[in-house]
Structures are given as structure tokens and as C-alpha cells.
């Protein structure tokens, strides 16, 4: 693994049993994250986009070991997280933080701002007494809040202010890596811009590495250095934000971008939308071959039988999992003769 990579996943899987009980075995498996290979570089902001239910949040939780993984490997700054437990996991987890989607649900209504932001300092033994109070004040100033609000409760704040409290709490452990899981989804549009700008400033000021999860492609393009596109538990395209945002190479990414409104009315009227047919398959019944084939307008013979692997396309650093760029992937066990794939 390269020294400039902070977080790395190889073949990462998070599968949940479904339909079982304490007396019966599970009837099936829901493949929330299904073989993800991903590197997140030090100091970058990686945007993760995709439709609801594609596994974005589960992947973010898995990278922080908040949900158990069922396969693959996960490393953080060169240390294997896959089987790490107890004190060693706690020590490493201090270096990672999370900003949750709903600032109304992620803050304890019975705890003051000082108690909420100061809790990580206590858990990790970083500050006590007056030092802790001073650090809480510093963190509140860092996210644009008056330190005088430390004694107030969450219900006394607006949504944007609550999310700033959540960001201050995530920064309390002095993390290297921050996962922002739909951090602006529940905020007003004007407040979304403020929080995005705050995250960009903090990323530069503190040298943070960010995973910014969102279904809002405009916001992701604004804040990200690279963009990863997820579909049905798998990364299907990844590359520099400019390349993926202006010249997507995977039909699914092209369809997502065609749904983003353009600010110029004339261009918006002339643009042709890509409307996908059919529904998203269930992660409990992933199609054979290419998992996007049931909705892809360009499907052809190999798509039914060969699961495409990410391969270099377009701009430098851009990759897509699509047979339109060559048949590279894993053949299905029941693939007919004549269908071959280059590993």
C-alpha cells in the first residue's frame, strides 16, 4: 500500500442475514457492501455518491468499524483493522470521526453542548477539568459557534447550528479521517452551502482526510477532489472530480449526472435526460454478470455473464466497471463457452 493512502479496503463485504430467526437459519443474504476496493489518500476529500439504498452509508460505517465486516480486508494508516478489538481498536478509532446525517437525532437532548463536545475528550483521556472546558471552547470557535453557548441544549439551536455542534464533537479526538454521512441532506439550501464551506476550510486548516457521502452530485463536485460512484454495493466508477463530473464513462454515472439541474435555463431546455428503465434490483438478489445490466441502455451479450472489474478509462486516474471499455472481469460459473474475461 502506498504511503499516501490513509484508508484502504480490499474486497470489503458487509452482508446481513435476512428472513431467519433464533430457530431457523437465515433465508438469504442482503449484500449491502459487496466486494469494494477503495483507497482514500491522505489530505483528500473523496465524494461517494449513488442512489438511496446502494450501500453508501454502510460502507462509511464499515470503514470506521461501526458495523461488522463479513469479508475482505480494511487498513488504516497501514494497520489492519479487520480483526482489531478492545483497546487497540479504541486507540485507532480516536483518529477517525463521523458527522451524521440528522443533527436533530444525533445529539442527546438531555446533554448540553459542553457535555456533548467534551465526551470524546473524556473517553480518550485527552483533557480534564479546566483544560477540557478550554478545549470545548476552542472547538466551538473552530466551527463558527460562540463558546458562550456551551451550556445550552440542542433544542435551543437551528439545524445548521446543531450540525456545527456535531462537527465539533467529531473533531474533539483530533482525528485524521472524517466520514460525513449525508451531513447536509436535512439542512436548508442556504445552510448547506455554509456547512460545505466550513468542511472545506477545516479540511485545509487541519489537514483532514474526508469521505463525503451524499446523493447530491452538485455538492459532491463542489467539495471533492475525487468522486466514487456506488451502485448495488459496488464501486462502479471512480476518478478526479472534474473528470467524473464532466466526462463520465459508466452509463449509470451518465444517468445520475443527467438528473442534475443546470443553472442556465437555455442549456437545461436543450439537454437530453437519460431516464433509466426498471427498478433498482434488491441487494438480496443481485443480478449475474454486470449488476447494472437490468437497467443499462447499452447492455450487450457479455453483460449477462461477466461481472466487470474497474479498469482505466478516460482521464488519468479515472476507472469504470463497464464492458463498453473492454471485457475485463469475473465470468459467472455458468457462463456459456466463448465468453472470456481478462483478469
Q: What is the pLDDT of residue 190?
A: 86
Q: What is the pLDDT of residue 336?
A: 46
- Do residues 224 and 242 touch, judged by C-beta distance below 8 A? no
Q: Answer left, alpha or beta for residue 333, where phi above 0 means left and psi between -120 and 50 means alpha.
A: alpha
Q: How far apart are CA 217 and CA 225, in angstroms?
A: 13
Fold of 5-20+27-95+175-248: Rossmann fold (3.40.50)
Counting Cα atoms < 13 Å in the Cβ hemisphere of 103 gives 29
- Per-domain residue ranges for the chain? 5-20+27-95+175-248
Contacts of 267 (CB under 8 A, 6+ apart): none
Q: What is the pLDDT of residue 337?
A: 45
Q: What is the pLDDT of residue 234?
A: 96
Closest CA to 324 of 340, 303, 341, 305: 303
CA 74 to chain centre: 15
Q: Is the pTM of this model over 0.85?
A: yes
Pairing of the two strands 311-312 and 319-320: antiparallel
Q: What is the pLDDT of residue 339?
A: 45
Q: What is the pLDDT of residue 340?
A: 44
DSSP states along 153-186? -GGGS-HHHHHHHHHHHHHTT--SEEEEESTTTT
Tell me the per-residue pLDDT of 132-189, one tens digit each, with 9 for 90 and over.
999 999 999 999 999 999 999 999 999 999 999 999 999 999 999 999 999 998 888 8
Query: Under DSSP, is residue 58 helix (H, G, I), strand (E, B) or coil?
Result: helix
Residues in the chain with pLDDT values less than 70? 1-2, 20-24, 267-268, 329, 332-343
Q: What is the pLDDT of residue 332?
A: 63
Amino acid at each position: 500500500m502506498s504511503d499516501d493512502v490513509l484508508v484502504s479496503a480490499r474486497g470489503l463485504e458487509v452482508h446481513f442475514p435476512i428472513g431467519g430467526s433464533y430457530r431457523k437459519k437465515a433465508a438469504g443474504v442482503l449484500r449491502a457492501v459487496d466486494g469494494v476496493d477503495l483507497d482514500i489518500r491522505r489530505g483528500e476529500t473523496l465524494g461517494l455518491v449513488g442512489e438511496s439504498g446502494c450501500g453508501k452509508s454502510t460502507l462509511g460505517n464499515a470503514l470506521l468499524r461501526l458495523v461488522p465486516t463479513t469479508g475482505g480486508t480494511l487498513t488504516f494508516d497501514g494497520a489492519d483493522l479487520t480483526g482489531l478489538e478492545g483497546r487497540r481498536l479504541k486507540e485507532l478509532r480516536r483518529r477517525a470521526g463521523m458527522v451524521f446525517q440528522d443533527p436533530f437525532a444525533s445529539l442527546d437532548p438531555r446533554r448540553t453542548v459542553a457535555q456533548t463536545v467534551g465526551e470524546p475528550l473524556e473517553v480518550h483521556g485527552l483533557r480534564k477539568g479546566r483544560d477540557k472546558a478550554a478545549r470545548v471552547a476552542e472547538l466551538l470557535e473552530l466551527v463558527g459557534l460562540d463558546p458562550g453557548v456551551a451550556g445550552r441544549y440542542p433544542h435551543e439551536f437551528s439545524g445548521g447550528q446543531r450540525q456545527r455542534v456535531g462537527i465539533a464533537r467529531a473533531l474533539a479526538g483530533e482525528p485524521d479521517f472524517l466520514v460525513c454521512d449525508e451531513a447536509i441532506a436535512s439542512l436548508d439550501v442556504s445552510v448547506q452551502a455554509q456547512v460545505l464551506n466550513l468542511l472545506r476550510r477545516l479540511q485545509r486548516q487541519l489537514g483532514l482526510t474526508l469521505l463525503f457521502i451524499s446523493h447530491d452530485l452538485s455538492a459532491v463536485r463542489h467539495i471533492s477532489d475525487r468522486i466514487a460512484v456506488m451502485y448495488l454495493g459496488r464501486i462502479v466508477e471512480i476518478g478526479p472530480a472534474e473528470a467524473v463530473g464532466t466526462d463520465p464513462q459508466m452509463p449509470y454515472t451518465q444517468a445520475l449526472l443527467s438528473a442534475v439541474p443546470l443553472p442556465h435555463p437555455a442549456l437545461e431546455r436543450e439537454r437530453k435526460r437519460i431516464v433509466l428503465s426498471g427498478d433498482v434490483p434488491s441487494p438480496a438478489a443481485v443480478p449475474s454478470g454486470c449488476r447494472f445490466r437490468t437497467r443499462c441502455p447499452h447492455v450487450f451479450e457479455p453483460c449477462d455473464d461477466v461481472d466487470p472489474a474497474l479498469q482505466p478509462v478516460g482521464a488519468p486516474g479515472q476507472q469504470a466497471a463497464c464492458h463498453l471499455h473492454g471485457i475485463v472481469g469475473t465470468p459467472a460459473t455458468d457462463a456459456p463457452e466463448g465468453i472470456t474475461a481478462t483478469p
